[in-house]
Chains A and B, each alone.
Chain A
Amino acid sequence: MKQENNKEHKFGMVIDLDKCTGCGSCMVSCMSENNVPFKEDESNKKDSITWMRVYKLTNGKSFPDTETAYLPRPCMHCAGKGGHGHSPCVSVCPATATEYGHDTGIVSQIYTRCFGCRYCMGACPYHARYFNWWDPKWPEGMENYLSPNVSPRMRGVVEKCSFCYHRYQAARDKAYHEGRNDIEENEFQTACTTACPAGAIVFGDLNNPAHKVHQIVKPDPHPDKWNRHVVGKSRNPKVFRLLERLGTNPKIYYLSEREWIRRKGDNYLDGEWDKIKNHHGSSSHG
């Protein structure tokens, strides 16, 4: 069945770090939506599977000038250098278990193809991928709440955020069934987005100027003039991406009024930030 869905989407997200309260709803909504298991001790965060993880940031100043903020980190769904779909993880996978969806911009993970080499985990600059060191185990009866839309994973495979791809599939099927060519903005929203009680997460199609995410991010249609590998840079001076200079071209953008938070987006050398921040958000025409 060919989907009458020819327009190329580029799904992405912008997270308002000034609204984020660090409450953790996005993390739990994600776990519950995607059948993420849990185990007795989840305090070793290296083996705690959290497709969405909320980091705490601090400005490093001493009392009483300390400030803190939270930064939710799903998979960045990197478009890779130049935005051609060579995401760091996709390029290294020997099993074709993770692919870049050119029609959606979503980086997939196909569990049954994955044989657990974990190259992708090494390649991911954002620690967004997790390995199943153990088979998932639910307390007696608790498998009853598992959703059939996402297959439970088994020991020995890597998993990560899928931008709730099954929700996209459901929305697309519904649209097709109703004879529409395309889905509406509100028909496909990720579980973290809908759960956020502060409304800090905005999700949509970065290619669609009618979508809120596009209006906030204002992605630059041209490659960055300082670094041709960087595409889709935000023209909003308050918006940044993590480790943007690597050219991984994440589709998760962050928004903050606070400069110290924006500065946390990369590891800047002395004096580097002042140079960068002036260029920040400037378009190629700038």
Chain B
Amino acid sequence: MKVDRRSFLGLGLGAVAGIAVSPVGLKLTDDSSIWTQNWPWTPVPADGEVIYESSVCSLCPGSCGISVRKIENRPVKIEGRENYPVNNGGACLHGIAGLQYLYDPARVKTPLKKNGDKFEEISWDDAIALVAGKLADLRKSGSPEKFAAILDKEQGSVSGLFKRLFKTFGSPNFYTMPSFESYLEATAAAIHGEGKTIGFDLENADFVLSFGAGIIEGWGSPVNCFQANASRKERRAKLYQIEPNLSNTAANADKWVPIKPGTQADLALGICAVILKNNLFDSNATMNFKGGFNKFAAMLQKDYTPSKTAEITGVKAADIEKIAGLFAKAKKPVAVFGKGRGDGAQSLKELAAVHTLNCLVGNINKKGGVFVKSKNKYLEFPDESMDSIADAGFAKPKAGRYMNQLVEKINSSSKSVVEALFVYNANPCYSLHDTKSVKQALGKIPFIVSFSSFLDETAKEADIILPSHTFIERIEDVPSGAGLAKTVVGLTKPVASPVFNTKNPGDTVILIAKALKGSIAQSFEWESYNECLEGVTARIWDSLSEDGYAVISKGAPIEPAAVNLSFLSGNPPTVQAQGDFGLTLIPIDNMRLINAGAYVSPFAIKTVSDKVLKGKNIVVEINPLTAKGLKNGGFAIITTPIGTARVVVNFNEGLMPGVIGMVEGLGHTFENKYVSNKGVNVNDLIGPVIESGSGLDAAFGIKAKISKA
């Protein structure tokens, strides 16, 4: 066939028309899109029978009841448990994301032993034998007190087992990380005497005067606080929020009272002074005050007149008088303390000063007020058997009063203060101020055993890791605390079988104790932690195992609480920020991040605003008036006496001039690409400032400067 121009064009056009009309093209496009939607790596989750199991979340001290949806025994979703006495169906984002911790890339999958810089896998038997061997040597050498522990809390049976191990071993060096519960107990001890703790009846109060307490920032028992806050509108209750930055709580409050950082104690005393001067206090309550009520009153009238207070705090004298009037005249006022989440550094002066407001208006142990309760004592351990080494060692003084003193003591001593350290549920290398010095102190300890489920900053410093089940895989009693008005003990249940070769920390402690033999082993005669738990919670076990919780107390306590003002009447000095720079860097608590105990999950960090975290850069907040020479969204360098950091700047009118706000909970440095190596840890920039008298780290921030990068 002859191909001429005419037939060529004809064929060409025909082909074009043919292709255009033919369904082949569309079919191929469709097929290819279907094909690309059927990649074998797109998971197809298995279906099956659905059941719900209830348990308790122990990610934070909130102790919320949770309901876990399981499909063919595979947990797929965590939700709040309906009618649970703490959270009644609500849940926070971290609890809901709880299943992500099960399969976290940073989980410790099996016991590990450090060899040089690397971890090697080791069997449970070998690991326990190794730990027991080291401890036995230490005990034999005659200094059992050089064995220390750092835990997250004192409460609960797992902490009880650790404490028991230390006592029978012969060491008083049992430490807990600062927590809101520890501050509540310290406040109660300063004013009402030892052995007590405090709960706030927020859901019934009609005027909440919050000295920076992040009621919707994760303070206290978070979900319970969210619910109390949400019902404010219906109850016609008021919330006044006093803090330097417009937090979510301040934004949600009826009034935000900006205050110079670190002067909340002074404002509280200023308000006390107005209440006393104007006779707005409850004279029935103050009649029984001890510790120099008159001296206290005289000190206030001298040092805390409205004009002096106004000068210190930056709050107008007229506003101080107005707030005092509103607070004292409210039917059910309550003053709450604990800046941010309440678990960071706090000054006892501030805690006590705020709590004195409650005492003055006579709302102690009244509905809608403050409950001064005995510490929750639902656990009954059998008596320990103590040998002579245990008796002698346990009677020795602690190396330091709190964690910060321990760190300082280790770093300043030439000979070793601590020879062996246990760390459980705590990440001091991340959560304490001046992380560099904490790491330095841990570096000086020859033998560190971590019980962490995750290879976090502190676990990385350990010599042996005995990995624990996550809260989804283990049984444990979880007592409420953290300022909750009720006292509830919940039972965390293993809703999933262990994913890795881990153990319940209770079992690990029992195994170590047994391997230590002698009187220590005799004090741990349980076959397993399960048996121990059932024994020590015998009084409430029926209700724990049947209902999943036991309510120990609710409603206002009946017994009156003694009030002693001697701590405040001498007007202890207010803690000042460290350094000479012109600005103050303060930590900001953000509900979507976690700064102590656990760390944030991939889901939770996904919710974090790009005004907080942008790529790998942390974004700090600063009032445009303070940001001279800086560009909104540009890079800057923050310098404090402790360290420097490169940050992105975000202009925010919700921050007092002179203040830089940096979020807590970023800047982790371990292997989890979703949540780690993002931003800066604010604790790298702030150093501890120890309050004289209380011994607490009371650094509310640090002096800083900021310049264009």
Q: A residues touching B (Cβ–Cβ < 8 Å)?
A: 18-19, 21-25, 27-29, 31-33, 35, 38-45, 48, 50, 54, 56, 58, 61-64, 66-70, 111-112, 115-116, 135-136, 138-148, 151-157, 194-200
Task: Confirm or deny: B202 has a beta carbon within 8 angstroms of a beta carbon on chain A.
Answer: no
Beta-carbon contact of B96 and A141 below 8 Å: no
**Stretch binding the partner chain, chosen from B14-22, B39-47, B51-59, B142-150:** B39-47
Contacts of B78 in A (CB 8 A): 32
Beta-carbon contact of B592 and A24 below 8 Å: yes
Residue-wise interface mask of B (237-263) relative to A, using a CB-CB cutoff of 8 A (1 in contact, 0 not): 000000000101001100010100000
Beta-carbon contact of B673 and A40 below 8 Å: yes
Beta-carbon contact of B79 and A29 below 8 Å: yes
Given A144-B103, A147-B45, is A63 in contact with B230 using a C-beta cutoff of 8 Å?
no
Given A63-B258, A139-B103, is A40 in contact with B653 using a C-beta cutoff of 8 Å?
no
CA distance A191 to B81 in the complex (A): 14
Lowest 6 A-B CB distances belong to which pairs?
Answer: A197-B90, A28-B93, A21-B216, A197-B226, A198-B230, A24-B607
CA distance A43 to B608 in the complex (A): 8
Residue from A70, A155, A198 in contact with B36 in the complex, judged by beta carbons closer than 8 Å: A155
What would be 7 A-B contacts, judged by CB atoms less than 8 Å apart?
A: A21-B216, A68-B248, A115-B29, A140-B105, A152-B45, A197-B227, A199-B90
CA distance A272 to B452 in the complex (A): 59
Given A69-B251, A145-B100, A197-B80, is A28 in contact with B604 using a C-beta cutoff of 8 Å?
yes
Q: Chain A's nearest CB lies how many Å from the CB of B611?
A: 7
Contacts of A152 in B (CB 8 A): 42-45
Contacts of B673 in A (CB 8 A): 40
Given A143-B45, A197-B80, is A32 in contact with B97 using a C-beta cutoff of 8 Å?
yes
Given A38-B603, A66-B654, A195-B91, is A142 in contact with B592 using a C-beta cutoff of 8 Å?
no
Given A23-B591, A196-B90, A198-B229, is A48 in contact with B606 using a C-beta cutoff of 8 Å?
yes
Contacts of A67 in B (CB 8 A): 246, 251
In the complex formed, the residue of B with least CB distance to A26 is: B93
Count CB-based A-B contacts (< 8 Å): 206
Task: Confirm or deny: B445 has a beta carbon within 8 angstroms of a beta carbon on chain A.
Answer: no
In the complex formed, the residue of B with least CB distance to A70 is: B248
Interface size on B, residues (CB 8 A): 80
Given A138-B43, A194-B79, is A63 in contact with B591 using a C-beta cutoff of 8 Å?
no
CA distance A144 to B36 in the complex (A): 23
CA distance A21 to B251 in the complex (A): 9
CA distance A210 to B275 in the complex (A): 49
**Stretch binding the partner chain, chosen from B68-76, B409-417, B454-462, B695-703:** B68-76
Q: Chain B's nearest CB lies how many Å from the CB of A215?
A: 15
| Residues 87-110 of B contacting A (Cβ, < 8 Å) | 87, 89-94, 96-97, 99-100, 102-105
Beta-carbon contact of B30 and A115 below 8 Å: yes
CA distance A61 to B246 in the complex (A): 12
Contacts of B45 in A (CB 8 A): 35, 143, 146-148, 152
Contacts of B96 in A (CB 8 A): 25, 28-29, 32, 195
Given A24-B607, A141-B499, A199-B230, is A68 in contact with B246 using a C-beta cutoff of 8 Å?
yes
CA distance A189 to B254 in the complex (A): 31
**B610, B613, B616, B623 interface centre (most CB from chain A within 10 Å):** B610
Beta-carbon contact of A24 and B256 below 8 Å: no
In the complex formed, the residue of B with least CB distance to A21 is: B216
In the complex formed, the residue of A with least CB distance to B246 is: A66
**B105, B258, B603, B625 interface centre (most CB from chain A within 10 Å):** B603
Contacts of A194 in B (CB 8 A): 79-80, 89
Beta-carbon contact of B229 and A21 below 8 Å: yes
Contacts of B77 in A (CB 8 A): 32-33, 145, 147
CA distance A141 to B94 in the complex (A): 19
Q: Chain B's nearest CB lies how many Å from the CB of A31?
A: 5
Q: Chain B's nearest CB lies how many Å from the CB of A271?
A: 25
Contacts of A157 in B (CB 8 A): 37
Beta-carbon contact of B41 and A63 below 8 Å: no
Q: Chain A's nearest CB lies how many Å from the CB of B169?
A: 37
Contacts of B603 in A (CB 8 A): 27-28, 31-32, 38
Beta-carbon contact of B33 and A31 below 8 Å: no
Contacts of A139 in B (CB 8 A): 103-105, 674
In the complex formed, the residue of A with least CB distance to B249 is: A21
Q: Chain A's nearest CB lies how many Å from the CB of B251?
A: 4
Beta-carbon contact of B87 and A68 below 8 Å: no
CA distance A156 to B37 in the complex (A): 8
Q: Chain B's nearest CB lies how many Å from the CB of A229?
A: 34
Task: Confirm or deny: B222 has a beta carbon within 8 angstroms of a beta carbon on chain A.
Answer: yes
Given A64-B256, A199-B230, is A27 in contact with B71 using a C-beta cutoff of 8 Å?
no
Given A38-B603, A148-B45, is A62 in contact with B653 using a C-beta cutoff of 8 Å?
yes
In the complex formed, the residue of A with least CB distance to B226 is: A197
Besides A18-B252, A62-B624, A145-B99, 10 other CB < 8 A contacts? A23-B592, A24-B93, A68-B251, A135-B41, A138-B43, A143-B43, A151-B44, A152-B44, A197-B90, A198-B227
Beta-carbon contact of B233 and A145 below 8 Å: no
Beta-carbon contact of B233 and A19 below 8 Å: yes
Beta-carbon contact of B591 and A22 below 8 Å: yes
Residue-wise interface mask of B (572-613) relative to A, using a CB-CB cutoff of 8 A (1 in contact, 0 not): 000000000000000000011000000000111111111101
Task: Confirm or deny: B325 has a beta carbon within 8 angstroms of a beta carbon on chain A.
Answer: no
Q: Chain B's nearest CB lies how many Å from the CB of A256?
A: 11
Contacts of A41 in B (CB 8 A): 615-616
Contacts of B499 in A (CB 8 A): 141
Task: Confirm or deny: B213 has a beta carbon within 8 angstroms of a beta carbon on chain A.
Answer: no
Contacts of A45 in B (CB 8 A): 610
CA distance A68 to B249 in the complex (A): 10
**B89, B103, B251 interface centre (most CB from chain A within 10 Å):** B251
CA distance A136 to B251 in the complex (A): 37
Contacts of A50 in B (CB 8 A): 606-607
Contacts of A198 in B (CB 8 A): 90, 216, 226-227, 229-230
In the complex formed, the residue of A with least CB distance to B677 is: A40
Beta-carbon contact of A199 and B227 below 8 Å: yes
Given A27-B607, A142-B103, A143-B43, is A43 in contact with B251 using a C-beta cutoff of 8 Å?
no
